[in-house]
Amino acid sequence: MDRVVLGGSDGAIEGVAMTAALNGAGLDFRTIVIAGFAFAVAGGISMFCSSYLASRSEADLLRADVERERMEIETEPEEERAELEELLKKDGYQQQEVDVIMSRLAKDKELWLRTQLSHELRLHIEDLETDPLSRAGVAGVAFFVLAMTALSPYGLVSSHVQALSLSIGLALLALFVLASRAFTPGQFSWKSGVESAAVGGAAAGVLYLLGTLISSL
């Protein structure tokens, strides 16, 4: 879901800003649609590539952390045990509970490793099972879809003002929904949604004025 928010937010902000600039420059709608579509495709590909490389880099770092912790558990078990016990106590476990947990972990090195990673580094070995291609694909598609959402009014109405208003409205709504996580009630944050929408609105306004300025030169 984080990749949807990342890719979608970038697509909405950059899409509405770019189309607003072209609108402000007074270009005809056909040119705006062609340029906007090319931008959405290029941006989606760029988002896919950057997200894929980032996911690969994160996975490589996680593998290095896993192997280091695995080695330390094998070569320095007492130090690792003491460290994990302190972390468990900080999380609210009593000494008796810690003793039971450590007794269980001592019999299962793999479970010990997972617990050590979770409490010490806040990492989860399951993240290694995530396919970087699928995560990157989600980010790229989200960018394309939201950039096209900001562009869509230029194929539906004939007035520059109406197209600009509708484009900004759709983009701001999308930004609010994505950033506020309105689709996951337990994580909803209206403040994050408003901040993201404000950034998108500001970007569109600045680029529209820039386009207007350029067209007057």
- As given in the structure block, the two tokens for residue 184 are 């996951």
Average pLDDT, the chain: 88
pLDDT digits (tens, 9 = 90+) for 157-195: 889 999 999 999 999 999 999 988 877 777 778 888 899
Question: Which among 94, 129, 164 is the end of a domain?
Answer: 129
C-alpha dihedral sign at 152, 156, 160, 165: negative
- Asked whether the beta carbons of 98 and 88 are under 8 A apart, the reply is yes
Same domain, 165 and 189: yes
Question: Which among 106, 129, 152 is the end of a domain?
Answer: 129
The pLDDT of residue 182: 77
Same domain, 158 and 203: yes
* Alpha carbon distance 133, 137 (integer Å): 6
pLDDT of residue 128 exceeding 80, the answer is: no
Question: Which among 129, 148, 172 is the end of a domain?
Answer: 129
pLDDT digits (tens, 9 = 90+) for 30-56: 999 999 999 999 999 999 999 999 888
Same domain, 178 and 106: no
Helices first, then strands: H and E counts in the chain: 8, 0
Q: Is the pTM of this model over 0.85?
A: no
Spatial neighbors of 188 by CB under 8 A, at least 6 apart, are 180, 181, 182
**178 against 122, higher pLDDT:** 178
> How many domains does the chain contain in total?
2
Determine the longest span between alpha carbons in the chain, in angstroms.
77
* Alpha carbon distance 65, 70 (integer Å): 8
Same domain, 109 and 150: no
Same domain, 209 and 188: yes
The pLDDT of residue 64: 87
* Alpha carbon distance 5, 160 (integer Å): 29
Same domain, 9 and 67: no
Same domain, 75 and 147: no
pLDDT of residue 107 exceeding 90, the answer is: no
- As given in the structure block, the two tokens for residue 202 are 């500001």
The pLDDT of residue 141: 96
Same domain, 113 and 138: no
Q: Which domain holds residue 118?
A: 60-129
Same domain, 93 and 184: no
Same domain, 38 and 141: yes
Same domain, 169 and 188: yes
